[in-house]
Amino acid sequence: MAARASGETTVTSVSILRPPLRTGDWDLRVRAIPLDFDWVLLVIDDLSEENRVAAVRRDFIANVSHELKTPVGAVALLSEALVAARDDPKAVSHFAEKMQIETERLSNLIQDVIDLGRLQGEDPLENARVVPLPEIADSAVEFVRGAADAKNITLALSAAPDSDVFGERDQIETAMRNVLANAIAYSSPHTQVAISVRPNGAIVEITVRDQGIGIPETELDRIFERFYRVDAARSRVTGGTGLGLSIVRNVCRNHGGDVQVWSAPGEGSTFTLQLPRYQKSSQDNSSSIEEKP
Ligand code: ADP
């Protein structure tokens, strides 16, 4: 009406409840362009997805800033304490050790944010190639061996051949490391963490089973969210960032797979990463794929 009366293009934003369930908003931008003979052209753009992505990004930046504040604030306070205690060697080493823990947390967080950023980039599988999972599992196990040894946790790996996937080696290894590191961090000393890699039809399953503290059923849906921790105080002790499992889920989904969890408090947890299996067909000239840079 306004466009017709004024003869000028008008732009309005409208938010309506999304049919048919009327849950969630549908953000529309409506442009009314007056034409000849009392006709008005309506151009309607759906901005819901754009707005949702912008909100997620805003949220993420707010969360990261908040998470960075804690270790940075602690380092500032500890350095003041260090200066004040310069004549007391015992106190100096005590504060210096605490500073090391805080800087490690800071560097974990920065590394996780970099990993997540890369995973959510334009082309998350830029360097995809055939990846032999048993080899990656071996290397992920070696990466966490020090942490396991420190708690006398036994690592048992079983990997079946024919467990190849087509994807990014580094991403898959990061995902395996994250799940393994959690299994160790949330388990008591003298327990076992078992990792198995085996093909199951068109997919390959990587299963990491621990005998740790477990996760309450009500929390199982939420642990894959960014910055979500079941017990924030405990996670702080383990140096966790709350980003590990969201990285795992992103990696699996980028590869066309997913991640599942089973857990019982006091009994342990089992994380299963499912990735589409790479099967070389007889006509397939896979060397052209493998040689891709
Ligand atoms: P964090 O860096 O805190 O470990 P994650 O995203 O890796 O963050 O995990 C989210 C939360 O899920 C953890 O804080 C922890 O409470 C819970 N969790 C993850 N793995 C396990 C596990 N194997 N056993 C028990 N709890 C776990």
CA 19/CA 33 separation, integer angstroms: 26
Q: Judge if the beta carbon of residue 211 lies within 6 A of ligand 1.
A: no
Residue 286's pLDDT is what? Answer: 45
* Claim to verify: residue 143 and residue 227 sit in the same structural domain: yes
* Claim to verify: residue 272 and residue 150 sit in the same structural domain: yes
Count how many residues are written for the chain.
Answer: 293
Ligand 1 centroid vs 179 CA: distance in angstroms? 8
Nearest-atom number in ligand 1 for the CA of 246 is 6
Instruction: Give the mutation target among 179, 229, 262 for probing the ligand 1 site: most ligand atoms within 8 A of CB.
Output: 229
Residue 122's pLDDT is what? Answer: 54
* Claim to verify: residue 85 and residue 175 sit in the same structural domain: no
Q: Judge if the beta carbon of residue 240 lies within 6 A of ligand 1.
A: yes
Count: domains in the chain: 3
CATH of the domain at 111: 1.10.287.130
Domain boundary among 104, 121, 138: 121
* Claim to verify: residue 9 and residue 108 sit in the same structural domain: no
Is residue 291 domain-resident? no
Is residue 171 domain-resident? yes
Ligand 1 centroid vs 134 CA: distance in angstroms? 24
Is residue 146 domain-resident? yes
Q: 230 with 224: CB under 8 angstroms?
A: no
* Claim to verify: residue 231 and residue 266 sit in the same structural domain: yes
Q: Which residue ranges in the chain fall short of pLDDT 70?
A: 19-24, 121-124, 234-239, 281-293
Is residue 287 domain-resident? no
Q: Judge if the beta carbon of residue 231 lies within 6 A of ligand 1.
A: yes
Read off the pTM. 0.77
* Claim to verify: residue 25 and residue 140 sit in the same structural domain: no
Residue 235's pLDDT is what? Answer: 65
Residue 287's pLDDT is what? Answer: 44
Q: Judge if the beta carbon of residue 241 lies within 6 A of ligand 1.
A: yes
Please name the residue whose Cα sits nearest to atom 23 of ligand 1: 183
The closest of 273, 252, 260, 258 to 124, measured between CA atoms, is 252
* Claim to verify: residue 62 and residue 106 sit in the same structural domain: yes
Q: Judge if the beta carbon of residue 113 lies within 6 A of ligand 1.
A: no
* Claim to verify: residue 205 and residue 106 sit in the same structural domain: no
* Claim to verify: residue 214 and residue 133 sit in the same structural domain: yes
Q: 171 with 251: CB under 8 angstroms?
A: yes
Give backbone dihedrals phi and psi of 81, rounded to 5 degrees, phi first: -65, -35
Q: Each residue of 214-244: pLDDT tens digit?
A: 999 999 989 998 888 888 776 666 667 889 9
Is residue 293 domain-resident? no
Is residue 225 domain-resident? yes
Domain containing 243 equals 129-281
Is residue 182 domain-resident? yes
Amino acid residing at 34: P
Residue 221's pLDDT is what? Answer: 87
CA 32/CA 10 separation, integer angstroms: 5
Domain boundary among 76, 104, 121: 121
Is residue 8 domain-resident? yes
CATH of the domain at 174: 3.30.565.10
* Claim to verify: residue 99 and residue 201 sit in the same structural domain: no
* Claim to verify: residue 111 and residue 136 sit in the same structural domain: no
Ligand 1 centroid vs 6 CA: distance in angstroms? 59
182's enclosing H/E stretch is helix 169-185
CA 76/CA 135 separation, integer angstroms: 42
The closest of 159, 213, 165 to 186, measured between CA atoms, is 213
* Claim to verify: residue 166 and residue 276 sit in the same structural domain: yes
